[in-house]
Amino acid sequence: MIESIDTSLIDWSRAQFALTAIYHWLFVPLTLGLGIIQAIMETLYYKTGKEFWKTTAQFWMKIFGINFAIGVATGLILEFEFGTNWSNYSWFVGDIFGAPLAIEGVLAFFMEATFIAVMFFGWNKVSKGFHLASTWLTILGATISALWILVANAWMQYPAGMDFNPDAVRSEMNDFWAVALSPVAINKFFHTVLSGWIVGAVVVIGISSWYLLKKRNTEFALGSIKISALFGLVASILTLWTGDGSAYQVAQKQPMKLAAMEGLYQGGNSQGLVAVGVLASKDQYNDATDPFLFKIEIPYLLSYLGDRDLDAYIPGIANIIDGGYQTKNGQTVLSAQEKIAKGKLAIQALADYRTAKKDKNEVAAKEARAVLDENFAYFGYGYIKNPTDLIPPVGMTFYAFRIMVILGGFFILLFIVASILSYKGKFSDKRWLQKVCLWSIPFVYIASQSGWIVAEVGRQPWAIQDVLPTSAAVSNLATSSVQITFFLFLILFTILLIAELGIMIKAIKKGPAAVEQ
C-alpha cells in the first residue's frame, strides 16, 4: 500500500481505464443483443425451413462477428490494465477479484471460442440442429462471460464474502457464493445484459429502416424490424424492472452515489425524485444555497425507490459527510471525519501488527489485530485526506442518470410504435419513423455509456467501496508513461473503431443478398 502518490498519475490512470472501458462497451452490448436476435432468426429457419430466415440470420451474424472480434481485443487490454496501472489494487484484492475473471476465461471464453467457429463456418457442413445449437451456445457463452465480469464489477461496488489477512496484506475470499450471488451482482447482471439487448434491437431496427429509406431489401428489413421491435420492447420493460432493483441497491449500499445521482445535498423524509433539472454551482457542500436553478420533481418517489417507503429518510451529500442521522435499524451514522479517523487507526494497527509479528511479540500482535478488526470497516477512509474528497462529480452523475432514463423511456415508446406498425404492415409507409429509427442508433449508445458513467463515476473516489480508494489502488508509475500509453491507446482504438465502422458499412451496403448461402 502507498501513503502518497501524484494526483495527476491517479487522474491519468483513471482516464486511461475509462478510455479503454468506453471503447470496449461500444462493441459488447451490440454482440449481447444482436446475438439473441440472430439466434431467434435461425430458430425460425430451423422451424420453417425458409431460406429467407437463413439469409437474414447470416447477415446479422456477419455484423455480430465484426463487433465480437474487436470487443474481445479491447476486453483483454482492460484486464491487463489491472496489473499495469492498478497493481496495488490487484495485490490487495486479487484473490477475490481474479476468481470471477478466471471463471470467465476458463468457462465462458472457451465456450464461445468452441462454438463460434461452427456458427460462422458450419453452414451446410453440420446438421441444421447442431448449427442452431452452436449459435445459441455461442450467445450463451457471451452472456456467461458478461455474468462473471459483472460479478467482479459488482464486488467492487459492494465487497462481500471477504476477510482481510494482515499477514499477507491481502483480502481473501471466505464465501464464493456471497460474491457471486450478491444482490448487487444479480441486479447488475440483468440490468446490463438487458440494456445490451436494447442496443442490439435499436441497431437492427435502425439499419433495417435505412434499407426501407433506400427502397431495397424490403422483405428482409420488415422481417428484421418485426422481430427486433418486439424483442426490444420486452427487453426495455425488463430493464425498467431491473433498474428499479438497481436503484434500491444503490440506496442501501452506496447512499453517496444516490445523493449524487439526485443532486441531493440536504436529505430528509418523503423525498421526491427529480425528473428533469438544471444544477446550480455550489461553493460548499453544506451551504444554504439551492442546488438547482430549475427542477421538476415527482413527489415521494425517491423515498419509495430507495427504501420502498413513501416516507423513508434519504440522506443527502451533507448528511453523509456530517453524519449523525439514524438508519432504519436505529444505528447512528458516523461523520466522514470520524470514519477517516477510524481508517487511520486501522492502517496504523496493520503496521503495528506487522512490526510485532516481525519482532515475534505475540501480545502486541494480538492487541494490534484487535484494533485492526474493530476498525477495518473504515480501512479505506484512512487514505482520504479531506472529507469532501468523498463526494463524486455530482454534475456528471446527475446528468448521465437523466440521459439514461429519458432515452430509456424514448426507446420504450419507439419499440411500441414500431411493433404495432410492423405487425399491422404499415411500417414501410412511415418514412418519418424510419428516419427516427435510423437516427436512434447513436442515442442508444449514448444511453448505454451514460449508465456506466453513473455506475463508475458515481462511486468515486472508491476503487472498492469503503475499502480501497483509487489513490491507494494505483500503480507507482511515472505519470508520463501513463500519458504516452493513453494517447497510444486513443489512436489505436480510434483506428480500430474507424476500421470496424468501415467494414460494417461495407457489409450493410452489400446487403443480405450478398451473404453466402
Q: Are 77 and 154 in contact (CB under 8 A)?
A: no
Q: What confidence category does residue 3 fall into, taking pLDDT thresholds of 50, 70 and 90?
A: very low
**Residues 111, 234 share a domain:** yes
Q: Which of 364, 383, 402 is the last residue of a domain?
A: 383
User: How many other C-beta atoms can be found within 10 angstroms of the C-beta atom of residue 51?
Assistant: 10
Q: What confidence category does residue 6 fall into, taking pLDDT thresholds of 50, 70 and 90?
A: low
Q: Which residue has the higher pLDDT, 441 or 514?
A: 441
For 401-459, the DSSP string reads HHHHHHHHHHHHHHHHHHHHHHHTT-GGG-HHHHHHHHHHHHHHHHHHHHHHHHHHHTT
Amino acid at 369: R
Task: Answer whether residue 516 shows pLDDT above 60.
Answer: no
Q: Kind of pairing, strands 462-464 and 468-469?
A: antiparallel
Question: What is the 8-class DSSP label of residue 280?
Answer: P
Q: Which residue has the higher pLDDT, 110 or 36?
A: 36
3-state DSSP helix/strand/coil % of the chain, to nearest 5: 75, 5, 20
Look at the chain and report how many structural domains it folds into.
3
**Residues 122, 204 share a domain:** yes
Render pLDDT for 338-369 as a digit per residue (tens, 0 to 9): 999 999 999 999 999 999 999 999 999 999 99
Task: Considering only the C-alpha atoms of the chain, give the largest distance between any 2 of them, rounded to a whole number of Å.
Answer: 84
**Residues 197, 112 share a domain:** yes
* Angstrom distances, CA of residue 284 to CA of 257, 288, 289, 410: 18, 9, 9, 36
The answer to whether residue 331 is domain-embedded is no
Render pLDDT for 211-222 as a digit per residue (tens, 0 to 9): 999 999 999 999
The answer to whether residue 420 is domain-embedded is yes
Domain that holds residue 307: 260-322
- According to the model, what pLDDT value does residue 5 have? 55
**Residues 94, 219 share a domain:** yes
Render pLDDT for 157-175 as a digit per residue (tens, 0 to 9): 999 999 999 998 899 999 9
**Residues 31, 53 share a domain:** yes
The answer to whether residue 1 is domain-embedded is no
The answer to whether residue 2 is domain-embedded is no
**Residues 465, 449 share a domain:** yes
**Residues 311, 290 share a domain:** yes
Render pLDDT for 393-438 as a digit per residue (tens, 0 to 9): 999 999 999 999 999 999 999 999 999 999 999 999 999 999 999 9
The answer to whether residue 329 is domain-embedded is no
**Residues 231, 290 share a domain:** no
Taking the C-alpha atoms of residue 199 and residue 235, their distance in angstroms, rounded to an integer, is 10
The sign of the dihedral angle between the CA atoms of 455, 458, 461, 464 is negative
Q: Which residues pair with 172 in a beta bridge?
A: 163
Look up cell 467457429; give the residue: 117
**Residues 202, 74 share a domain:** yes
Q: What confidence category does residue 517 fall into, taking pLDDT thresholds of 50, 70 and 90?
A: very low
Taking the C-alpha atoms of residue 257 and residue 265, their distance in angstroms, rounded to an integer, is 12
Residue whose C-alpha is closest to residue 390's, from 317, 333, 287, 327: 317
The answer to whether residue 448 is domain-embedded is yes
3-class DSSP state of 114: helix
**Residues 299, 176 share a domain:** no
**Residues 347, 316 share a domain:** no
Mean pLDDT over residues 134-148, rounded? 92
The answer to whether residue 327 is domain-embedded is no
**Residues 294, 362 share a domain:** no
User: How many other C-beta atoms can be found within 10 angstroms of the C-beta atom of residue 127?
Assistant: 10
- CA terminus-to-terminus distance, the chain: 58
The answer to whether residue 429 is domain-embedded is yes
Mean pLDDT of the chain: 91
- According to the model, what pLDDT value does residue 2 have? 46
Cα–chain center distance at 403: 15
Render pLDDT for 448-505 as a digit per residue (tens, 0 to 9): 999 999 999 999 999 999 999 999 999 988 899 999 999 999 999 999 899 999 999 9
Render pLDDT for 44-81 as a digit per residue (tens, 0 to 9): 999 999 999 999 999 999 999 988 888 887 888 888 88
